[in-house]
Structure 1
Amino acid sequence: MADNENRNQHRQRVLKGAAILTGINNSEVRCTVRNMHANGAELKVSIDARVPDEFLLYVPVDGIGYKAVVRWRREDRIGVEFTGTEPKPNWHYG
């Protein structure tokens, strides 16, 4: 992450397991939430993961599905903005 990156809010450092739910054939990509605030988060994903520009980020420990839009990508990191929430999809086992 660039030191000179501008943010409106400070992100709380966290380490939470999560799943990127794409809805395409009910698929998911496992990830780790590295830092987070009410409007967004930084995710760590596998370097070869295929992550769409919009998805539902389900964080089991929070019990919330965050509607997410990708704002930046760098190697195995993705910055997302939250655009809303919704319940965990019934097809997701977690």
Structure 2
Amino acid sequence: MTDENARLEHRQRVLKGASILGDVNTSEISCTIRNMHSKGAELRVPVDVVVPDDFLLYVPTDAKGYRAEVRWRVRDRIGVEFLGEEPKPHWHYG
């Protein structure tokens, strides 16, 4: 997806808590979703947190998990592309 194509999709401003989940052996990273559309989202994470290039973004208020891939990073902001939906992993307690 090019940046131009991503911008064609309306971005809905949101303020949702979410979790970045790598796998059962990695720690959960709390983040905030600032805007979202069907193909991706902008996340806010603490600057000093290392976020993997691909992960499951679990959004409790939507009861959905999105397979996500990082497309850009600027300080505490991360833009991700959604590659598909997945159920919450059985090992995630939240």
TM-score, normalised with respect to structure 1: 0.91
How much has 1:8 moved relative to structure 2?
2.2
- Distance in 2 (CA, whole Å) between partners of 1:91 and 1:24 is 7
How much has 1:93 moved relative to structure 2?
1.1
Which residue of structure 2 aligns with residue 46 of structure 1? 46
Decide whether the 8 Å contact of 2:24 with 2:91 is kept in 1: no
Percent of matched pairs sharing the same residue: 67
RMSD of aligned C-alpha atoms?
1.2
- Distance in 1 (CA, whole Å) between partners of 2:19 and 2:73 is 17
Identify unmatched segments of 5+ residues in structure 2.
none
Q: How does 1:76-91 map to 2 (within 5 A)?
A: 76-91=76-91
Query: Does 2:66 correspond to 1:61?
Result: no
TM-score, normalised with respect to structure 2: 0.91
How much has 1:10 moved relative to structure 2?
1.4
- Distance in 2 (CA, whole Å) between partners of 1:34 and 1:65 is 17
- Tell me the SS of whatever aligns to 2:85: strand
Which residue of structure 2 aligns with residue 74 of structure 1? 74
- Tell me the SS of whatever aligns to 1:25: coil
**Where has structure 1 moved over 3 Å in runs of 4 or more?**
none
Task: For 2:79, give the aligned amino acid.
Answer: G
Identify unmatched segments of 5+ residues in structure 1.
none
Number of corresponding residues? 90
